[in-house]
């Protein structure tokens, strides 16, 4: 990765403690979405729903983020990033508690969608703050630890959530619990989190005043649209639209129930290896990314990202298209799918950070996650639910988890040429800002 010739200390004090606190917001987001997917068989029975209802819930929760994700980024710039996290990913948990009282699908859909509207703030705002806590040499590791914590929480909570299927109306207790934890997290962020400010970890900007670092902080539509003119970012967006593996956590349990006849509580066991695999994938992705970037700064990260997509498709084919009778073998393959999926955040998030200027990173992640990934997730979720009723989830998994992911791997070949150039251009822009500030 190209580095600046300026070298003031860019290490932000207490950055790992701040990262630990921020990880809670993503844990809540992940737990909320996987709860509905993991317990949908009993929600379906409780409220008298079809499989298509899971697709509608998934799609609605993601589509609302297309609008609220950029809004929260705008609010964070006009108000404060800490304030947005306290409200949108903290106190917003009251809507999770309300969802637990739903008496029909309409009520569940409304409350769940409102809940997701707040959670849409977590990914872009937290990702931007991580870039301001860690410089380019440690961002991959930080992202790996961040998403690793999410995966570890999912591994621990996954089987516990599955056991709620054996409790009368247990899914309601799950939503109430998430909502309550959400509120407590918001209070903790309000009490203990200190925002480092834009550009605090950039070597060119670290020793400048916060006011100087945030001189470019004004967010306009023109500047947001300029992100789409960065070739590497545009290609990463296209790859995200092809990321069929996003549905594994949502449909994995109901897939095993409907296709291979496992009970909900037994099928939910695969959430543990998915979480463990995702955790190991994050660690592996961090080390593999550092190694690959050292071996080939121009092509290394792209190669690791591409290999993860192809590897996922191969494992998904072997792990979903054959009946192994034992849930243990399915756990192995779902764990490997989690591992391949877990490699991605430690590679693609730092790549986005490397090509986007500090003040536009939150908007970049809003576009990348809250808009494009949400559109993809909504399309896959809605399509998997509707097509699952029509042709069966086994065929749906073949097309989305295997064929589409192979296409994604091929598409990423386009990233080899522009990435190093775009990252170098971003560093040159920061060098120019430092010279202007010192002058």
Could you report the per-residue pLDDT of 425-434, keeping only the tens digit for each? 988 888 887 7
pTM of full prediction above 0.85:
no
Question: In CATH, which superfamily holds the domain spanning 15-200+226-433?
Answer: MFS general substrate transporter like domains (1.20.1250.20)
When comparing pLDDT for 293 and 393, which is higher? Answer: 393
Q: What local confidence, expressed as pLDDT, does residue 312 receive?
A: 94
When comparing pLDDT for 81 and 285, which is higher? Answer: 81
Q: What local confidence, expressed as pLDDT, does residue 172 receive?
A: 86
pLDDT band at 411; cut points 50, 70, 90: very high
Q: What local confidence, expressed as pLDDT, does residue 2 receive?
A: 47
Binning the chain into helix, strand and coil, the percentages to the nearest 5 are 80, 0, 20
Assess whether pLDDT exceeds 60 at residue 5.
Answer: no
Scan for tokens 């409220």, then name that residue: 47
When comparing pLDDT for 299 and 306, which is higher? Answer: 306
Assess whether pLDDT exceeds 50 at residue 1.
Answer: no
Give the C-alpha separation, 145 to 160, whole Å: 23
Scan for tokens 């298509």, then name that residue: 52
Q: Mean pLDDT over residues 185-202, rounded?
A: 85
pLDDT band at 206; cut points 50, 70, 90: low
The pairs formed by 13-21 with CB atoms below 8 angstroms and a separation of 24 or more are 14/194, 15/133, 15/134, 15/142, 15/196, 15/201, 18/129, 18/133, 18/193, 18/194, 18/196, 19/130, 19/133, 19/142, 19/145, 19/146, 20/149, 21/188, 21/189, 21/192, 21/193
Contact 115, 100 (CB under 8 A): no
Q: Mean pLDDT over residues 253-261, rounded?
A: 85
Assess whether pLDDT exceeds 60 at residue 257.
Answer: yes
Q: What local confidence, expressed as pLDDT, does residue 213 receive?
A: 66
Assess whether pLDDT exceeds 90 at residue 271.
Answer: no
Give the C-alpha separation, 148 to 347, whole Å: 13
Q: What local confidence, expressed as pLDDT, does residue 432 receive?
A: 82
Assess whether pLDDT exceeds 90 at residue 396.
Answer: no
Summarize pLDDT for 96-134 with one digit per residue, the tens.
Answer: 899 889 889 899 999 989 988 888 888 888 888 988 888
Assess whether pLDDT exceeds 50 at residue 316.
Answer: yes
When comparing pLDDT for 231 and 370, which is higher? Answer: 231
Summarize pLDDT for 13-36 with one digit per residue, the tens.
Answer: 678 888 888 888 887 776 766 677
Assess whether pLDDT exceeds 90 at residue 407.
Answer: yes
**150-154, 167-171, 206-210 — which one is most confidently predicted on average?**
167-171
The full set of domain ranges for the chain reads 15-200+226-433
Give the C-alpha separation, 352 to 13, whole Å: 24
Q: What local confidence, expressed as pLDDT, does residue 217 receive?
A: 65
Collapse the DSSP code of 298 into the 3-class scheme (helix H, G, I; strand E, B; otherwise coil) and give the result. Answer: coil
- Could you tell me the two tokens for 380? 């896959």
Scan for tokens 């977590």, then name that residue: 122
Assess whether pLDDT exceeds 70 at residue 9.
Answer: no
């Amino acid at each position: 990765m190209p580095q600046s010739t300026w070298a003031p200390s860019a290490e932000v004090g207490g950055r790992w403690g701040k990262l630990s606190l921020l990880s809670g917001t993503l844990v809540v987001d992940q737990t909320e979405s996987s709860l509905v997917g993991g317990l949908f068989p009993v929600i379906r029975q409780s409220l008298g729903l079809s499989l298509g209802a899971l697709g509608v819930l998934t799609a609605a929760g993601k589509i609302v983020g297309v609008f609220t994700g950029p809004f929260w980024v705008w609010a964070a710039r006009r108000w404060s990033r800490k304030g947005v996290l306290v409200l949108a990913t903290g106190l917003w948990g009251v809507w999770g508690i309300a969802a637990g009282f739903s008496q029909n699908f309409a009520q569940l859909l409304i409350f769940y969608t409102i809940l997701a509207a707040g959670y849409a703030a977590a990914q872009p705002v937290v990702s931007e703050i991580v870039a301001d806590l860690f410089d380019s040499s440690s961002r991959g590791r930080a992202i790996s630890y961040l998403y690793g914590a999410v995966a570890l929480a999912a591994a621990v909570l996954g089987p516990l959530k599955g056991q709620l299927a054996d409790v009368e109306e247990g899914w309601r207790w799950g939503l109430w619990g998430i909502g309550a934890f959400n509120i407590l997290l918001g209070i903790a962020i309000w009490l203990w989190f200190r925002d480092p400010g834009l550009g605090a970890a950039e070597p060119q900007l670290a020793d400048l005043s916060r006011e100087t670092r945030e001189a470019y902080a004004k967010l306009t539509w023109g500047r947001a649209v300029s992100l789409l003119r960065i070739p590497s970012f545009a290609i990463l967006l296209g790859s995200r639209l092809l990321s069929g593996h996003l549905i594994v956590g949502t449909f994995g349990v109901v897939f095993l129930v409907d296709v291979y006849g496992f009970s909900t509580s037994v099928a939910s066991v695969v959430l543990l290896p998915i979480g463990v695999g995702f955790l190991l994938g994050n660690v592996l992705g961090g080390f593999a990314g550092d190694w690959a970037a050292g071996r080939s700064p121009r092509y290394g990260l792209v190669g690791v990202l591409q290999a993860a997509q192809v590897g996922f498709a191969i494992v998904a084919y072997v792990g979903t298209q054959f009946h192994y009778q034992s849930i243990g073998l399915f756990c192995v393959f779902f764990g490997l799918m989690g591992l391949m999926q877990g490699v991605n955040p430690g590679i693609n998030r730092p790549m986005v950070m490397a090509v986007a200027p500090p003040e536009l990173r939150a908007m970049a992640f809003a576009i990348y996650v809250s808009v494009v990934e949400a559109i993809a997730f909504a399309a896959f979720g809605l399509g998997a639910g509707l097509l699952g009723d029509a042709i069966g989830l086994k065929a749906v998994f073949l097309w989305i988890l295997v064929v589409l992911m192979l296409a994604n791997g091929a598409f990423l070949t386009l990233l080899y040429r522009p990435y190093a150039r775009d990252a170098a251009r971003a560093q040159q822009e920061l060098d120019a800002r430092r010279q202007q500030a010192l002058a």
